[in-house]
Structure 1
Amino acid sequence: MARNIGSHYTVHRVLGRGSAGTVWLGDGPDGPVAIKLLREDLAADRDLAERFAHERHALLGLEHPNIVGVRDLIIADSGDTPDGQEVALVMDLVRGPDLRRHLERERRLAPREAVAITAAVANGLAVAHAAGIVHRDVKPENILLDTPEGGRVALLTDFGVAKLIDEPRHGGKGGVVGTPDYLAPEIVEGLPPRAAVDIYALVTVLYELLAGFTPFGGGHPGAVLRRQVTEKAAELPGIPRELWELIQQCLAKAPASRLRAAELASRLRELLPSLEGLPPLDIGDPEEDAAPEPVEAEEPIAALAAAGGGGGGAGRVAVPLVRGTAPDSERETHTRMRVPDAEELAGGAHGTARTIRTAGERRAGSARNAAAARRRRRLAVTAAALVCAAALGGWLLFSGGDSSDGGLGEPAGGPPRADVQLSQPA
């Protein structure tokens, strides 16, 4: 059933649902559009609506071939929300899947394709950063793959929502809101997000496109956040040294060490000729420590899902970025949790989070587990030696008073027995 949104738009059917709202296929003055309606409780928040209105000019002015455009921002009265208000973002429709779906189908991308997609998104980020806008939620779900005549174009969506919703009233003082696999270390440590957080997240996406997994993901979200701060990404075999050094630089813990978006795009484009013809990496799944079952995220915040429907029509069409409301048991997507304190962040190993192995290579324990096992063995040997020494000392002490044989087999009345000094292993 058709429903009017504001005075210029009509929505027809739901394309996708996320924890921040619902994406509808709609029509407007210029043709088909995707319309994101915020959740009722968010729309009823007058402060949040004012923040959206304040950012209206910046969001509408963000135009680039690698950015999904926001056409309009609607704040209108409605009887469907508790306070009679609805907030909606009107966006372009995009033909093609999101990068997450493409990666799930392909498992790993050839280096040239992965680098080309990353360079395109970096171009879009450069324009946004120049306008003073930080995305804050760069990940495969927020990268759409348009398929116009003659090729494929990567477009970044979800500008604005992460920043506007993640305010003190919603996130709480000292909170961490985002996708743990892609969160820059400075966000985990409670520092304000600058443009460098998008570079860190984007190159994490590049690492994932090449390897099939993120450098610090796996297990409880808290463990992922700690790895982001304390550990080093494991090197990927089979890629040119220049590409790996670029990945390392942009995954640096210090934000100032990372490249700017325009520099990253330029450097990646320079590498494209050297990647021609290279196949996807032939590596196995990462080796990682056993981790507890993921816990349900508290008060999740959703991405802005620029979604679409079937083909045809004058507008561009997309598939949903958010394909359902059920949480993914294998991946925490949007987590809100407290910032770990300094002692928690400093704890644990400082080596690589995962050990990369080639395909078919025998699975081995992680470096951290191996080191811990060696320490446990040394402690066990030392403890056993101490117990034996104590037992022998007690036996010598008590047997020394036996007058029948003078202790250690000495005849009664013989020379006094010398003290026995027991040495302990170092």
Structure 2
Amino acid sequence: MARKIGSRYAAHQILGRGSAGTVWLGEGPEGPVAIKLLREDLASDEELVGRFVQERTALLGLEHPHVVSVRDLVVDGNDLALVMDLVRGTDLRTRLDRERRLAPEAAVAIVADVAEGLAAAHAAGVVHRDVKPENVLLDMQGPLGPGGAHPALLTDFGVAKLIDSPKRTRATKIIGTPDYLAPEIVEGLPPRAAVDIYALATVLYELLAGFTPFGGGHPGAVLRRHVTETVVPLPGIPEELWQLMVQCLAKAPASRLRATELAARLREQLPMLAGMPPLDVDEPDAEPGEAPMDEAGEPAASTGERAVRRRGAVPLVPGAKPDSNRDTHTSMRVPGPDELAGGARGTARAPRAAGAPRPGSARHRASARRRRVTLGTAAVVLVAAVGVGTWWATAGDDTGTTPQDTKHSAPQTP
């Protein structure tokens, strides 16, 4: 049975769920739409409703081929909803879960599309604040681009800002998805356009590597890494592309590129990436003392289990599976300076070349033992050689050799 949303829309089928609400396949005066119905506790917050109305003009005016347009904002009793264009395809998280990592040409083409969408948003004064694969939709009906990539559109503009009200989070809370949070947000500074660039560069790293540069383990550890650790190079990508990513992952917001610059620079990289296969790297291991996490965000039952870092997807497309209902945002205390400084090792955990032994594994321990045996054997041989040399140098004193016989012996200490 259809659910009425305001006076103009009807919601027919749930497409997905997220931390902020539920996405429905709906119908409006102009045809099919996607309707994001916010949670009831959000809809009952008068301050948030006021912010919702204030954002109306900015969100409705955001039009770009790589942005999922907001057609309407509905405030009706307990219903608070964003009515958006319906994209027929899938979200980037679903593709990443299926393929683990993408070929560099396709990854760069997708991120360039999103960068162009961000450029339009930033020019209109809108900061997304939650750029991640779940919020990138791939239009399966659009023309194929470089590397066979479908056109990418960024969605969920304004949702993070609406939720992040002073009443709800105060100055000591963080709203966002930990793996993609820029350092300045972790440190409690207001989010500017540069936070979207940092998040998008993190997405590009994830598309290429199959994992995020600072993710893994407890959310608090992830936040600390954003502030204290530097990103480790990915083997196998062109140096120019890597330097571009490093610049956009800079700790200082002013050092990052603007969205227009990033889009143009990425487009320039595409010819040299044509035909390059996906990277062959292994995910880094958990830090010592950091237990693997299961799908619910809890420590895995066995330390041998691989960490699974699922994030709830909210696809705005028909036929997509609802997610696990797990929140895709973290609302937690801002770490203090001492906590952020504690335990930093200078660089993030390095990806391993494919086939290299994992630290702590049986192969790694056997290799370490072989090195110790080799060094020990070398030390024994060296000591023996020194002993023989010393005997040879002093043998003349005991056997009556002439001075000519001992002219090559080591000099004696007075």
Show the counterpart of 2:152: 154
Relative to structure 1, the CA distance from residue 38 to residue 178 in structure 2 (aligned partners, 3 Å threshold; closer, same or farther) is same
What is the CA distance between 1:99 and its match in structure 2?
0.4
**TM-score normalized by the length of structure 2:** 0.79
What is the CA distance between 1:294 and its match in structure 2?
5.2
Structure 1 counterpart of 2:318, one-letter code = G
CA distance in 2, matches of 1:285, 1:265: 27
Secondary structure, in 3 states, of the residue corresponding to 2:265? helix
CA distance in 2, matches of 1:173, 1:293: 30
What is the CA distance between 1:139 and its match in structure 2?
0.3
Relative to structure 1, the CA distance from residue 183 to residue 272 in structure 2 (aligned partners, 3 Å threshold; closer, same or farther) is same
Show the counterpart of 1:57: 57
Show the counterpart of 2:68: 68
Conservation of the 8 A alpha-carbon contact between 2:225 and 2:344: no
What is the CA distance between 1:11 and its match in structure 2?
1.2
Show the counterpart of 1:308: 317
Conservation of the 8 A alpha-carbon contact between 2:312 and 2:323: no
Show the counterpart of 1:28: 28
Asked if 1:139 corresponds to 2:159, the answer is no
Secondary structure, in 3 states, of the residue corresponding to 1:145? strand
Conservation of the 8 A alpha-carbon contact between 2:27 and 2:33: yes
Show the counterpart of 1:106: 99
Show the counterpart of 2:48: 48
CA distances 1:129-175 after superposition (whole Å, capped 9, x unpaired)? 01111000000000000012532110000100100111111112221
Show the counterpart of 1:86: 79
Asked if 1:364 corresponds to 2:354, the answer is no
Show the counterpart of 1:386: none
CA distance in 1, matches of 2:281, 2:109: 21
CA distance in 2, matches of 1:89, 1:156: 15
Show the counterpart of 2:168: 170
Asked if 1:235 corresponds to 2:233, the answer is yes
**TM-score normalized by the length of structure 1:** 0.77
What is the CA distance between 1:344 and its match in structure 2?
1.0
Conservation of the 8 A alpha-carbon contact between 1:93 and 1:306: no
Show the counterpart of 2:337: 342
CA distances 1:45-100 after superposition (whole Å, capped 9, x unpaired)? 111111110110100010101001100000113xxxxxxx3111101111111001
CA distance in 2, matches of 1:60, 1:303: 26
What is the CA distance between 1:292 and its match in structure 2?
3.5
Structure 1 counterpart of 2:82, one-letter code = L
What is the CA distance between 1:271 and its match in structure 2?
0.6
Alignment of 1:387-406 (within 5 A): none
CA distance in 2, matches of 1:303, 1:59: 24
Asked if 1:257 corresponds to 2:255, the answer is yes
Relative to structure 1, the CA distance from residue 62 to residue 33 in structure 2 (aligned partners, 3 Å threshold; closer, same or farther) is same
CA distance in 2, matches of 1:303, 1:283: 25
Report runs of 4+ in structure 1 exceeding 3 Å deviation: 292-297, 302-306
Structure 2 counterpart of 1:254, one-letter code = A
What is the CA distance between 1:18 and its match in structure 2?
2.0
Conservation of the 8 A alpha-carbon contact between 1:158 and 1:305: no
Relative to structure 1, the CA distance from residue 245 to residue 365 in structure 2 (aligned partners, 3 Å threshold; closer, same or farther) is farther
CA distance in 1, matches of 2:143, 2:117: 20
Conservation of the 8 A alpha-carbon contact between 1:137 and 1:303: no
Relative to structure 1, the CA distance from residue 192 to residue 93 in structure 2 (aligned partners, 3 Å threshold; closer, same or farther) is same
Secondary structure, in 3 states, of the residue corresponding to 1:97? strand
CA distance in 1, matches of 2:337, 2:76: 45
CA distance in 2, matches of 1:228, 1:349: 10
Show the counterpart of 2:90: 97
Conservation of the 8 A alpha-carbon contact between 1:162 and 1:303: no
CA distances 1:367-415 after superposition (whole Å, capped 9, x unpaired)? xxx9xxxxxxxxxxxxxxxxxxxxxxxxxxxxxxxxxxxxxxxxxxxxx
What is the CA distance between 1:365 and its match in structure 2?
5.6
Show the counterpart of 1:11: 11
Conservation of the 8 A alpha-carbon contact between 1:161 and 1:303: no
CA distance in 1, matches of 2:282, 2:317: 34
Structure 1 counterpart of 2:86, one-letter code = L
What is the CA distance between 1:211 and its match in structure 2?
0.3
Deviates more, 1:260-269 or 1:20-29: 20-29
What is the CA distance between 1:264 and its match in structure 2?
0.3
Show the counterpart of 2:379: none
Structure 2 counterpart of 1:307, one-letter code = L
Show the counterpart of 2:190: 192
CA distances 1:324-368 after superposition (whole Å, capped 9, x unpaired)? 31x3xxxx73111111111111222332221221111122369xx
Q: 2:217 aligns with which of 208, 214, 219?
A: 219
Ranges in structure 2 where 5+ consecutive residues have no aligned partner = 145-149, 298-310, 366-414
CA distances 1:262-310 after superposition (whole Å, capped 9, x unpaired)? 000000000100111111001112133141465978xxxx999452225
Structure 2 counterpart of 1:148, one-letter code = Q
CA distance in 1, matches of 2:86, 2:156: 13
Secondary structure, in 3 states, of the residue corresponding to 2:353? coil
Show the counterpart of 2:283: 285
CA distance in 2, matches of 1:348, 1:146: 43
CA distance in 1, matches of 2:134, 2:49: 25
Ranges in structure 1 where 5+ consecutive residues have no aligned partner = 78-84, 311-318, 371-426
Between the aligned residues of both structures, percent identity stands at: 67
Q: How many residues align?
A: 342
Conservation of the 8 A alpha-carbon contact between 1:91 and 1:306: no
Show the counterpart of 1:382: none
Conservation of the 8 A alpha-carbon contact between 2:314 and 2:323: no
CA distance in 2, matches of 1:261, 1:180: 21
Asked if 1:121 corresponds to 2:114, the answer is yes
